[in-house]
Amino acid sequence: MIISHKHKFIFVKTKKVGGTSLELALASICGEDDIITPTSDEEIRKQLNFIGPQNYLNTYKDLGKRGSIKLILGLRKRHEKYLRHYSCIRIRDKIGTKIWNEYYKFTVMRNPYDFIVSHYFSSKREESFKDYLLSNPDHLLTNWNIISNKKNEIMVDQVIKYEEYEKGLNIFSNKINLDDNIYKIFKTIKAKTDRRPDYATVNEMFKNFNDGKKLVEIINNDEIKFGNYEKL
């Protein structure tokens, strides 16, 4: 997750959408006051010499007098104020409605059928894909819960489709008036390469798996409609 005061944008990071690579690319244009949460691939950030995680921990103001004294005395640790997969609601509550309303907010969405296949392989589960999905259908709600409110409404200004990264980042770069397109940086970064084998296409993984298709269709109906994704 990134909150850039320099460019007045908020990147709401969803899961299994190439978000780490995008977060690293965005960090390259951030300023010293911007909020950048740690990624799971900090080694690549160091190699690229991009700005690292910053301003995401609780401040003395957040801790209050008693908490600050305990921190100074080593009686408590400084915890994270912002987490990398914070929902829109939590980010808004942390930064306040003024900044939330003023800044350009964007995120990335992936075809939910493709998302759950990728999620399965990244989880390194021993059970079959069918057992994994049928026993853990809540995984399908992960990203929608991050970007929507209690009324089931999208809370950001732009949703970039995973399948249309270049187009989406072109729009984003123009919206915040970047001198150069952030996609040029993004496409050179290969963070958290997919552990998914070549054979594991959506059609192959859902072959003869009608219960799985139905689960995705029901649970991810809003995403399917919003992204104009085809049902299997």
Q: What is the pTM of this model?
A: 0.86
Q: And the tokens for 28?
A: 């390259």
Q: Residue 58: pLDDT above 70?
A: no
Report how far residue 112's alpha carbon sits from residue 133's, in angstroms, rounded to the nearest whole number.
12
Q: Residue 35: what residue type?
A: I
Q: And the tokens for 120?
A: 């399965």
**38-55 tens-digit pLDDT:** 887 778 877 888 888 898
pLDDT of 97 = 96
Report how far residue 27's alpha carbon sits from residue 6's, in angstroms, rounded to the nearest whole number.
11
Band (pLDDT 50/70/90 cuts) for residue 18 is: confident
Band (pLDDT 50/70/90 cuts) for residue 69 is: low
Q: And the tokens for 79?
A: 């915890």
**143-202 tens-digit pLDDT:** 999 999 999 999 999 999 999 999 999 999 999 999 889 999 999 887 765 578 889 999
Domains of the chain: 2-227 (3.40.50)
pLDDT of 140 = 81
Closest CA to 82 of 12, 153, 6: 12
Which residues touch 105 (CB under 8 Å, ≥6 apart)? 9, 10, 12, 88, 155, 156, 157, 158
**88-127 tens-digit pLDDT:** 999 999 999 999 999 999 999 999 999 999 889 888 778 9
